[in-house]
Structures are given as C-alpha cells and as structure tokens.
Amino acid sequence: MTEIAISAHGLGKRYRRGLRVTKHDQIRDAIKDSIGALLRRNAPPKDSELFWALRDASFEVRKGENVGIIGLNGAGKSTLLKILSRITTPTAGRARIVGRLGALLEVGTGFHQELTGRENVFLYGAILGMGRAEVARKFDAIVDFSEIADFIDTPVKRYSSGMYVRLAFAVAAHLDPDILLLDEVLAVGDFTFQRKCMDFAHRLEQSGATILFVSHNMHSIKSMCQRVIYLKGGRVTYDGPTDGGLRLYEQDCRLAPSPWFQPEDGPPEVTISDVSLHNEGGDEKTVFDYGGRMRVRIRYDAARPIDGMHLLVGFTRADGVLCSVFSTVADGLTIPSSMGVGEIELLTPALELVSDTYMVSVTVRERSFHKVLCAQMGCTFHMRHPVFVPDAFGVFHQKGVWSSRQT
C-alpha cells in the first residue's frame, strides 16, 4: 500500500474581519480609538465579523503524487497551503505531514528586507529546516540556479519581485524536499525561469517527491497534475481526475473577476453581465474553425456615467499566453457616456489562431487607458484545425508568399 504523505481531516480556518485603520490629527483621538479597538478585540466577535477562509477540508495525498489545488480567487487555496506548511494554525481539524517539507508560498516569505541575498539564503534555508553547513555546501548551486549571482550581495529590498522568486525557489529547490508546496508565485518570474522551475518540479516528481501546486494557469495544472482538489467558498467540492476539475473551473470562471484585477473598496462601477460567442451568421458557438470570424456580444451595467469608456476583449490561450486584444479605442469606436445597461458587439477579422482552447476576457477602462473599472473572464472557445497546432505553429499562422528557383 502506498504511503500517505499528507492527510487532512476537517481542516478549517476562521478569521475576524480586519479593524478599520483611521488617521488621526490629535493624540487624544488616537488613544480613544486604540482603547475602543482593544475592547472590541477582547469582546466576543459577532457572527457578521467572522468568516471561514477554509472549512471542513479533508483529503489524503499519497507519496509521489502531484496534486493541483484550484479554484477562483478567495476559494481558500493559499490558506490551505499555509496550514499545511505550519505558517498558519487551523481553527478546526488537523493535518499530518510525513517527510521533509519545502514551501514556496508568497514572494519574499522568509526574507529580511535589510539583509543581502547571500544572508537571506542562509536565513531562509534555516527556516526551511536546513543546517548552516548544508546551506554552505549547496550555496553555489543555489546561486547558480537563481541566476542572480551579480546581485547576491545586494540587500533584497532592492530586488524586483522576479528576483525574489528566483532566489526563494532556488533555496526551496535545494532543500531536497520529500514534499513541495507551490503557490502562484511562479507567475512572477519570466517564461524561461518558469520553464526551469517546471522542469525541476518534473524531476522532483520522477524522484518520488510529493507536490501540491496552486495555480490559475490550467495548462500548468494539466501538464503537472493527474489529480486536482477544487475549492469553492473554502470547501472541497471536487477531488478527482484533472479533466473533471478543469471543467468545473471553466464553468465557475464565467464572468468571474480576472485573477490580476484588484477592485477598489465598494461595489464595482461597471459589471459585465454576459458574454456570448457567435459565428459570423449570428449562431451561438463554442467551437470555431480556423479562418472564420467571430462575433463577441458583451452586455454591461454601468452604475454611473462613464467618461470615455474603453472596452478591451482579450484572447488568452490555455497555457496563459495572451494572444490577441481588441480595443474600442484602437479600433475607433466612441462609446457614448451613459449609465445603466448597454450592449457592445465585436466582429473579429478572420481568426488565424492555431488549434487550442482560449479564454475570452473583458476589461473596461475609463478615459482611454486610465482607470480600470472592471476586468472579468468571459467564456472559453476552441479553435479547430487538423494541422496548425501550438507545438508546431506557435500562436497563429498566416499564409506566406513563397517562391523558389534553381541555381
């Protein structure tokens, strides 16, 4: 019987919603608010002040298994990994980890801003459980893997987010973990380094290690994981083969906020209420043939008049590559300033994308390319062609004009 590497039973994490931060002009006001906050903190919280980021999560992961943790923003994915890595204590339930665990959860976790990269390698290595002699023995390999040797003696407060990820992943990789927990951090690095990390993860898998991988990149999930755990509202709603979990994710993505979009406090000023795809004749479709045109119909609801509304429609391939963006501003459409419900239709040129699955995203900006009012995922579609596929033809294929001659 295969050994169990991770077991979770009824895991839950409950938080109290944060207290409001207020600026004060006078010391007496600050003291008054501080006392009030202390009293509120010691008082039993109201049910409305509490929320469960994760609730009643139970599952087992066998040694050597690669499992994807997927779900929309706020589903509880990162909370689950923090509990498993012992960064966060669960409110309910328990988890058992068998083996040496490495975790790469957030950019800069375990780093001290004032220390250099060299010093942070030893600090982070100690946090992950490596002795100083082990870190020293592996130091050159860690720096070589990170590809930031020229900046290793620079304070990390001057690092870019990509440099953070490179160094943190390099340290975690050289822990030689039995279990590796990966959050969405690899999205920060450039494509070459992401590929390097994915190759490392595959080698780790072949060596018998266990990997839990959180990502919004479904292509990465599909290529790495034979099984996914799907979280929704903090609960496990699916645990099984990857394809079934991806179908659930695809359904729930429809009209959900884009992962990169961080709305300001308060209700959105514009929402996309519907996105539908049609062929040139107007028939609703989800599969399109190479060279055909597509009609994208978008319904929106503006809570106030929008000055210079700018609508952008993007096509993103299954592996996260943004392939094309259509823009009302770039294409010369002026949208009248009005509030309430409206509809816009885009008729694309002949689509020359290669055969694959694509996600339609919609972004609304105000005053050309200024403030982002909303960014939502629309729906998916499939391009069909027997020859033009990503591995051989890249993102798109256009017919060239060829000639030859004998010399």
- For the cut 70, the answer to whether the pLDDT of residue 28 exceeds it is no
- Please, which pLDDT band fits residue 391 given cuts at 50, 70 and 90? confident
**Mean pLDDT for the stretch of residues 123-140:** 89
- For the cut 80, the answer to whether the pLDDT of residue 335 exceeds it is yes
Cβ–Cβ < 8 Å for 95, 240: no
When comparing pLDDT for 261 and 281, which is higher? 281
Pairing between β-strand 210-214 and β-strand 179-182 as defined by DSSP bridges: parallel
d(CA 284, CA 129): 56
pLDDT at 21: 47
**Mean pLDDT for the stretch of residues 309-332:** 92
Least confident of 35-44, 206-215, 276-285, 366-375: 35-44
When comparing pLDDT for 272 and 183, which is higher? 272
Contacts of residue 106, defined as CB under 8 A and 6 or more positions apart, other chains included, come to 78, 183, 185
d(CA 323, CA 118): 39
Cβ–Cβ < 8 Å for 183, 83: no
Q: Which helix or strand (DSSP H or E) is residue 236 part of?
A: strand 235-241
Name the token pair of 65.
């298994």
- pLDDT, the chain, mean: 86
Answer CATH for 4-9+56-253 from 3.40.50.300, 3.80.10.10, 3.30.450.40, 3.50.50.60: 3.40.50.300
pLDDT at 33: 62
- Please, which pLDDT band fits residue 130 given cuts at 50, 70 and 90? confident
pLDDT at 27: 61
- Please, which pLDDT band fits residue 265 given cuts at 50, 70 and 90? low
pLDDT at 108: 58
When comparing pLDDT for 162 and 294, which is higher? 294
Q: What pTM was estimated for this model as a whole?
A: 0.71
d(CA 71, CA 200): 24
Block residue for tokens 């009643």: 56
- Please, which pLDDT band fits residue 10 given cuts at 50, 70 and 90? very high
Look at the domain 270-393 and name its fold: Coagulation Factor XIII; Chain A, domain 1 (2.70.50)
Indicate the domain borders of the chain: 4-9+56-253, 270-393
Q: What are phi and psi of 18, to 5 degrees?
A: -60, 150
Length of the chain: 407
Residue 232, Cβ density class (10 Å: 0-12 exposed, 13-18 middle, ≥19 buried)? middle
Distances (CA, A) of 156 to 144, 161, 187, 301: 17, 10, 19, 44
- For the cut 80, the answer to whether the pLDDT of residue 29 exceeds it is no
d(CA 333, CA 327): 9
**Mean pLDDT for the stretch of residues 58-69:** 94
Block residue for tokens 């699916």: 238
pLDDT at 73: 80
pLDDT at 316: 92
DSSP type of residue 99: S
- Please, which pLDDT band fits residue 53 given cuts at 50, 70 and 90? very high
